[in-house]
Structure 1
Amino acid sequence: MENSAKSGVFKYEHAWSITQTLEKLVEALRKGWDISISTSGSTGAPKEIFLPASAMIFSARNANEFVGAKPGDRWSLLLSPEHTAGLNVLIRSIELGTTPVSQNESANFTAIVPTQLFRALNGDAQLLEHLQGCKAVLVGGAHAEESLLKQASAVGINCVTTYGMTETSGGCIYNGVPLPGVEIRIGETIELKGPMLARVELKDGFFVTSDLGKIENGKLIVLGRADDVINSGGKKVSLSKVEKALGESFAAFGSENSEWGSALNIATTGQMSDAEIQLVLSVKFGVKALNIFRVAEIPKTALEKIDRQALGKLIS
């Protein structure tokens, strides 16, 4: 069942300065307006999500409490406010009575996606120094490889992994543990409940995600997206695991096929030969790609997730 909406809606506009955005956001939160965010996930058509002001405030306050932020502490804004992660930084800053800064200034806390962390560790010296100066760095929006997190820790970056989505006001699971007031239930997929939920369809009060997961030693382990798995000739293949096995310059996607049901396709910007690619797929997954496409660029969303919808259009 979907929650009923309040009158008044805040929606970020690119033309606004940070000062203007903060002023309008403060007013929206004070009046209890909904926050409107456009999202399409990794696939599917764009949709509008409406988050109650109370949900965003709940998320911001719990994030500040988790990292130990105190009034006067500063967050840096390294993500666009058009997305939940960026808006969360603004609301956390409002809660602390401060204005978010850029990576050119020192900050106590920040939030980034794994791609930004990778870049900081592989040549972006300014970003690296900025992250090293933060007490905690929230890393979310996509799966962060354990090797990347270990590399970050080795150079003094204190990473906190977050799991969530627009429908949950962004991250609501920190380092595998739900924030206070957040409940996890494992059904066919991960299900989440709590004051951070958007005005979306619920099942017994829970939002049903598209992610597979399990609880291990009291922590949530995210195994990947349910719609990330294709069934090719009776073999279930995880597209994200294929991409991980092949490397950074690869994207995997499925297509309908009369013989196999779903066929595996590969797009790459790399130099690995078709024969080498097929060998990896055969040995590790017991399948072969129907097509291997050479592309100039792998399309990604603003949060650096592979945009499979755009990829399909590019190939066609």
Structure 2
Amino acid sequence: MDTSSHREVRTLGPTHTLPDYVSALEKALTADGPALGCGPVHSTSVRSDISLLVATSGSTGTPKEIALTAAALTASATASNKFLEAAKGDTWSLLLPLTHIAGINVLMRAMQLGTEPVDLRNHVGSYPHADFTAIVPTQLFNALNENSDLLKHLQGAKAVLVGGASLSQDLRAQGAAAGINIVATYGMSETSGGCIYDGVALDGVAFEIASDGRIKISGPVLADIEKDNGWFITQDLGKIVDGKLQVIGRADDVIISGGENISLSAIEAEINRKFPNLLVAAFSTPDSKWGQALHIAVQSTDEKIKSELSDVLVQAIGSHAKPKSVLLLDKLPQIGIGKIDRISLAKLVSE
């Protein structure tokens, strides 16, 4: 293999400091150093034009490595700061892991504004001020229900990006009522993270709905991935309402139980409407009688919630939505940032 057109991949471990990451990222964006590995990457080299290699969570399939150029990362950061009307000197706080594209994006945006990211990943106590930050829905839930210090930090920011997983309307409404200026983001590693804010495409980005209902994205933020005439076709279903994108759910999260189609996203949305203070996850397991069986996992110790959830789903959706089991867990397993690990949940039921 001709290695002259390739560069080394360097992955930083948990002992490395934030300045180490910033320095490594700056060098990766130029020809001065190796590409930066983000997460558990296995490749040791990439093409010379690749600056970042991201290991995806693989929450619904085989983990992948996504290659991003400096141009894509820069386009994403520039468009994000422009949408938020961030100015030179504004600060970003880091509340997300640097093993994920969302954490790297915080560094990119801060670098563009000429400021150092405020590292709050393992912070305890009162939080310092930052103009902008990015979190996942679980962190918003925790701020509203148990972490008053984090809540004050979010309230003091000009805008708080919330992405990485589906943000329910009820949770968003709670956050808004608490005085948090929430901007819901949609994107993935293949799009350099969030590229659609509150249903609006960032500068240079476009979206459409494919004939099968899946969301298509184009623009300079796309990774070095397979495209269909310039479009990246996601595995998410969506619709366009008044020019804005509404994400319906995963194209592959519909199960068939007893001949009935059941959307796991719809199940979770219905529970969230009735129980906005509960963290829940719908998942399925193979079933010899029904084909696939619906289960619900709840972050709770309240036994009464089992029958209450079943009743709500039967009344709202129908008898076919009655779960085979409701698991009470101290904490819902996650993979990546804010994504429920449905594979681990299914294993718990099968054990």
TM-score of the superposition, structure 2-length normalised? 0.82
Cα 1:310/1:64, change in 2 over 3 Å: same
Cα 1:23/1:115, change in 2 over 3 Å: same
Partners of 1:76 and 1:112 lie apart in 2 by: 10
Q: Pick from 124, 128, 137 the counterpart of residue 105 of structure 1.
A: 128
My pick for the range that moved more, 188-197 or 26-35, is 26-35
Partners of 2:331 and 2:155 lie apart in 1 by: 30
Deviation at 1:231, TM superposition (A): 1.6
Partners of 2:279 and 2:76 lie apart in 1 by: 34
Cα 1:6/1:220, change in 2 over 3 Å: farther
Contact 1:168–1:196 (8 Å) recurs in 2: yes
Counting only pairs closer than 5 Å after superposition, residues 256-271 of structure 1 correspond to structure 2 as 256-268=286-298, 269=300, 270-271=302-303
Q: Pick from 78, 97, 120 the counterpart of residue 143 of structure 2.
A: 120
Q: Give yes or no for the alignment of 1:297 onto 2:341.
A: no
Q: Give yes or no for the alignment of 1:313 onto 2:313.
A: no
Q: Helix, strand or coil for the counterpart of 2:115?
A: coil
Letter in 1 for 2:348: L
Unmatched tracts of structure 2, length 5 or more:
32-48, 121-126
Post-superposition Cα deviations, 1:165-191, rounded to whole Å, max 9, x if no partner, equal 111110000110101211112012111
The match for 2:81 is 64
Contact 2:76–2:221 (8 Å) recurs in 1: yes
Partners of 2:7 and 2:182 lie apart in 1 by: 38
Contact 1:37–1:50 (8 Å) recurs in 2: yes
Identity of aligned residues (%): 48
Partners of 2:128 and 2:164 lie apart in 1 by: 24
Contact 1:252–1:265 (8 Å) recurs in 2: yes
The match for 2:102 is 85
The match for 1:143 is 166
Q: Per chain length, whose mean CA-contact separation is higher, i.e. which structure has more relative contact order (CA < 8 Å, sep 6+)?
A: 1
Unmatched tracts of structure 1, length 5 or more:
none
Q: Pick from 180, 194, 209 the counterpart of residue 186 of structure 1.
A: 209
My pick for the range that moved more, 175-184 or 212-221, is 175-184
Letter in 2 for 1:139: V
Letter in 1 for 2:68: L
Contact 2:50–2:67 (8 Å) recurs in 1: no
Deviation at 1:296, TM superposition (A): 4.3
Deviation at 1:283, TM superposition (A): 2.1
Deviation at 1:140, TM superposition (A): 0.8
Partners of 1:185 and 1:112 lie apart in 2 by: 26
- Aligned residues: CA RMSD: 2.1
TM-score of the superposition, structure 1-length normalised? 0.91
Partners of 1:213 and 1:196 lie apart in 2 by: 20
Partners of 2:331 and 2:81 lie apart in 1 by: 37
Letter in 2 for 1:105: P
Residues matched between the structures, number: 312
Partners of 2:147 and 2:336 lie apart in 1 by: 19
The match for 1:163 is 186
Deviation at 1:47, TM superposition (A): 2.0
